Amino acid sequence: MALKPPERPGIQISRGADASAVTEADARAVEGSILTTTVDRVVSWARKNSVWPVQFGLACCAIEMISAAQSRFDIARFGSELFRASPRQADLMIVSGRVSQKMAPVLKHIYEQMLDPKWVIAMGDCASCGGVFNNYALVQGVDKLVPVDVYVAGCPPRPEALLFGFTKLQELIARGRPLRRLS
C-alpha cells in the first residue's frame, strides 16, 4: 500500500498489517504536540526568560533601575523577578551609574564572582562612555573594565529604555552567543 504524500511535513505513519492501529487523525494530533528543536535553543529560551540581575546600583541610574523594577514598569514580567544581592546567584550585571576609580576594582571583582553565562548591560551614559563627566575621577565607560553586551543610552535612561535594552539582551541570549571568556 503506497503512502500518500502528507499534506504538510511531519511524522509519517506507515500502516502496517493492521490498518486500524494508527489513524491519520492520531498522527496529526501527535505531530501537533511535539516541538522539535535543539538543546541549545531550549536552554537559551530558558535563560533569556529568567535573567536575574545582581543589585549593582551605583548612582542616579540606579533610581531608574529601581523604578523599572516597580509596579509601573515592572521588569519582573520579563523574568527578572529578583535582583540578587550575591553575584554568585546572578547572571546579569546592570552597571547603573558612574564608575569611579575607587569603585573600578570592586566592579571587576563582582563581575568575576558571577558565574558563566553572564551578561553586562551598561545602563546610562556614564557606564557607556563616561557620560557628562570627563575627568580624573571616573572611568570613561565600563567597557574598559568588563565586556558589555548592551549599551542603554540616556542620562538617566527611562525605565522603558532599560526594558528595551533588556529585551535586546534577551534576543542576544536567544541567538545563543558563545559563552564569554575573560580576555
Partner 1 sequence: MIAEAAEALARDLAGLAEAEDRFRDEVTLVVPRERLHDVLARARDASFAVLTDLTAVDRLPAQPRFEVVYLLTNYTAAARVRLKVRVEADDALVPSAEAVYPGANWLEREVYDMFGIRFSGHPDLKRILMPDDWEGHPLRKDFPLVEEPVHFAGHTPKVPSAIIPKTPRTPPTPPR
Partner 2 sequence: MSELARETLVLNMGPHHPSTHGVLRLMLELEGEVILRTEPVIGYLHTGFEKEMETRTYHQNIVFPPRIEYLATMIEEHAYVLAVEKLLGVRAPERAETIRIILAELSRIASHLVWLGTSAVDVNVTSMLMYCFNDRERIMDIFEMVSGQRMMHGYMRVGGLQWDVPAGFVEQVRAVADDLPGRLDEYERLLTDNLIWRERTEGIAVLSHDDALRYGCTGPIARGSGVNYDVRKAFPYGGYEAYDFDVPLGSRGDSFDRYTVRVEEMRQSRRIILQALDRLRDGPVMVDDRKVALPPRAELVRSIEAVIHQFKLVSEGFHPPVGEVYSAVESPRGEKGYYLVSDGGNQPVRARVRSPSFNNLQALPVMIFRHMVSDVVVAIASIDIVLGDGDVDR
Which residues would be at the binding site for partner 1 (CB under 8 A)? 101-102, 129-130, 134-137, 140
Q: Does 91 engage in binding with partner 2 (CB under 8 A)?
A: no
Question: How many Å separate Cα 153 from the centre of its chain?
Answer: 18
Q: Does 118 engage in binding with partner 2 (CB under 8 A)?
A: no
One residue of 138, 142, 169, 173 binding partner 2 per CB under 8 A: 138
Residue 182 is which amino acid?
L
Choose among partner 1, partner 2, none what residue 110 binds, the Cβ cut-off being 5 to 8 Å by kind. partner 2
- Contacts with 9 (C-beta within 8 Å, 6 or more apart), sequence order: none
Alpha-carbon distance of 95 to 147, in angstroms, equals 11
Give the shortest CB-169-to-partner 2 separation in angstroms: 21
Question: How many Å separate Cα 122 from the centre of its chain?
Answer: 13
Instruction: State the DSSP code for 138.
Output: B
Query: Across-strand partners of 53?
Result: 92
Q: Does 98 engage in binding with partner 2 (CB under 8 A)?
A: yes
Q: Does 77 engage in binding with partner 2 (CB under 8 A)?
A: no
Choose among partner 1, partner 2, none what residue 56 binds, the Cβ cut-off being 5 to 8 Å by kind. partner 2
Nearer to partner 2, 158 or 180 (CB): 158
SS3 call for 164: helix
Q: Does 110 engage in binding with partner 2 (CB under 8 A)?
A: yes
Q: Does 67 engage in binding with partner 2 (CB under 8 A)?
A: yes
Nearer to partner 1, 59 or 66 (CB): 59
Instruction: State the DSSP code for 84.
Output: B
Choose among partner 2, partner 1, none what residue 64 binds, the Cβ cut-off being 5 to 8 Å by kind. partner 2
Element (H, E) at 6: none
- Contacts with 90 (C-beta within 8 Å, 6 or more apart), sequence order: 52, 53, 54, 83, 84, 114, 118
The binding site for partner 2 (CB under 8 A) comprises: 55-60, 62-64, 66-67, 70-72, 85, 87, 97-98, 100-103, 106, 110, 132-138, 155-156, 158
